Structure formats: structure tokens, C-alpha cells
Amino acid sequence: MKKITWMLIVVTLIGLAVAPFALASDGDEDVIDERYGKPKVVLGEALSDSDRDKVRSLLNATDPEQVDEYTVTAEDLVNFIGGDPSSNMYSSAKITRKEEGHGVVVNVVNPENITEVTNEMYANALLTAGVENALIEVASPKKVTGHSALTGIYKAFNVDGETLDQDRMEVANEELDVATDLAKDAGIDQEKVSELLSEIKREISEQNPATKEDVERIVSEQLDKLNIELSPEDREMLTNLFEKMRELNIDFGQVTEQLETIVSDLKGKLDEVTGGDTEGFWQGVKNFFQNILDSIRGLFN
């Protein structure tokens, strides 16, 4: 009986330790910002009725009065990025517009079902497409690569009289394909791929390359800097991608600024919890749970 009592105490302590982090992620999700209208939920056309309900639950969008809902179709894929009209659209997204300076923040709410695209890959591509100042949540009720969510997000930004640039949407979609190809086929860590793309954009912003050869040099320099080995074909693929961006005259300075905003915001939130002592905070968390595990072992000895 004594052991059971102690186990209940341990479970309660774990709950108390985790609760602040869970509560910190809960904002005023049901409050509509009247400056920007309702959040937009875009559901994949291939979802069944039960799948749609599951996605609405994942995206905290079950109240139809709190969101504007759309369906993204294969026709949208063709219209926005010239995609395959026979494609099945599963991955879905919720887009909440935010104030100036918020940047683009992406959260894949069930990453176990989005197998190829990470938060950072989405954010990088969306900044290339011209998306600004939004919280974007992505979900799927079944395992998918995650590519179709990008088209759904485009659709949300092309309603109510607002439009994104067609060429930028297409090259952003190509960027997402390149990112997932490098992670999957070239065997590069997903986070490393995102870092590489971000650093190339940063350097293009600073150096303002005038030719494709300049772009190729920047790509090579960043590959060397990050100790990434690519085949000649993959190097050419990267160079061609950023050459297209250069020809579109995308303001990479603005893109880089938003990427830095995302990073600094995340660091700022962590500093609020840790008091700036990030390393000490996580060591404290580790020690706390190690002590709990030691206590549990002691109950059965």
C-alpha cells in the first residue's frame, strides 16, 4: 500500500512538472483577431468525412463559427504551381494571420504523419513564396509526405482579393521538393538541409549575385562551410533553384530578416522560462526526472 501511495505521488509530480509547458502552448485559440479576420482552415480534397473531423480536431478548428473553411483540390495544385491534376490532396493546414513583425511560424501538429517536410522547410518555402506574418499549423490524419499542404496554404492566401505571385509560388514549391529530395535521397539531416537553404539565402542577400556563376560560387561556399558533400547533379539542382530565385529578384534581405525573427522569437520564449540559462535549465530538467526514476526504482527494491 505504501508503494502504491508513493507511485501516485510520483505521477502527480510528473504531471505538475509537465503542466506549465502544456499550458504555455495554449493561447487564446478561440479569440478572433478582428484586424485579420477568422483563421482559414484548408482541408485536403482526398479526406473522408471522418478524416476531416479528425483534422479539424487536430487543428483546434471544430467550431465552424470560429474559422473559414476551404477545400484544396488537384485543380488548385494545377492553378497555383502547375502540378499533377491526378494528385491526391491529404495534408491540411490552418492559417492565422498575425501582426507585422510576427514572421512566419509553422507548426506541424502531428509530425508522425508528415514524413518528409519539417517546420523549417515549410517556413523557408513560404517565405520564398511571399507569405508574411502568419501562424501556420499543418496536420494529416494519415501518413503523407506533406507536400500538398503548401498548395492549401497558397489557397488561403489567394482568397478575399489577395494574391501571391505565381512565379514565386512555383519556385517555392520547387524549393520544398529540393529540400525533401536532399534529405531523402542525399541522406542529409533535415535540419541541416534547412540550415543550408537559409544560409544560401542570407549570402545571396548580402552579396547580390549578378550571374549564375556567382550563385554557383555561393552554393559551393555554403556547402563547404557546413561540411555537406553533394553529387555534381545535386549541386547543379541547388544552383538552378537559387538562380531562378535570383531571376525573380526576390528580396532575400526581407526573407532573411523574417527567418532571424523566427529564431530570435523562439530563443526569447525559452529565455523567459530559463532566465537566459538554457544549459542550466535543461540540466535541471534532466536531473529532476532522473531523481524521479531513481525514486521509482527504490520503491521496488
Please report, in tens digits, the pLDDT of each residue of the chain (301 residues total).
544 444 444 444 444 443 443 333 344 456 777 777 899 999 999 999 999 999 999 999 999 999 999 999 999 999 998 888 999 999 999 999 999 888 889 999 999 999 999 999 999 999 999 998 899 999 999 999 999 999 999 999 988 777 899 999 999 999 999 999 999 888 889 989 998 999 999 899 889 999 999 999 999 999 999 999 999 999 999 999 999 999 998 887 777 777 665 545 544 544 554 455 545 544 554 555 555 555 555 555 5
Every domain of the chain and the residues it spans = 40-165, 168-270+283-295
pTM of the model: 0.76
Residues 29, 109: Cα–Cα separation, whole Å: 14
* Strands 40-44 and 92-97, sheet pairing: antiparallel
Name residue 153's beta-bridge partners: none
Task: Point out which residues pair with 93 in neighbouring strands.
Answer: 42, 138
Give the chain's count of helices (H) and strands (E): 11, 5
Residue 143 phi, psi (nearest 5): -70, 125
* CA–CA dist 282, 301 (Å, integer): 29
Under 8 Å CB-to-CB from 241, ≥6 apart: which residues? 171, 174, 175, 178
Q: Is the dihedral of CA 216, 222, 225, 228 positive or negative?
A: negative
The CB density around residue 150, as the number of other CB atoms within 10 Å, is 30
Residue given cell 560560387 in the structure block = 217
- Answer for the pair 134, 98: CB distance below 8 angstroms, yes or no: yes
Helix (H, G, I), strand (E, B) or coil at 72: strand
Q: CA-CA distance, 22 to 18, in Å (whole number)? A: 7
Contact 147, 180 (CB under 8 A): yes
What span, in angstroms and rounded, lies between the C-alpha atoms of 246 and 189? 26
